[in-house]
Amino acid sequence: MGDVLPFKKIRASERHKGNTLCRNGHHKWKLDQSQVFDVKQGRLVSRYRCRRCGATRNQAE
C-alpha cells in the first residue's frame, strides 16, 4: 500500500505559525556560540540568532 496523502487544505494560521511574531519584531533570541570574536573590531562580540526565523543580531561588549 502507498502512503496516505492529506486532502485537507492547510489553514493560513497553520502555514504562518511562528512567523507572525518575528514579522512584528518579537523575536526569540538565543545566544549563538559559533562566532564570538570579531577580527575587524578586535573585541568580543555576542551574536544572537532567532530560534524561529534565523535572523541574527550582534552586540559588542
| The model's pTM | 0.58
Beta strand pairing call for 37-38 and 29-32: unpaired
Say if residue 46 is exposed, middle or buried (CB neighbours under 10 Å; 0-12, 13-18, 19+).
Answer: middle
Query: Which structural domain, as residue segments, surrounds residue 56?
Result: 28-61
- For the chain, the domain total comes to 1
- Which three cell numbers mark 52? 524561529
pLDDT at 49: 92
Model confidence over 1-54: pLDDT tens digits? 788 887 888 888 777 776 778 888 889 999 988 766 666 667 777 889 999 888
Amino acid at 34: S
pLDDT at 61: 66
Q: Is residue 1 part of a domain?
A: no
pLDDT at 29: 92
- Which three cell numbers mark 34? 559559533
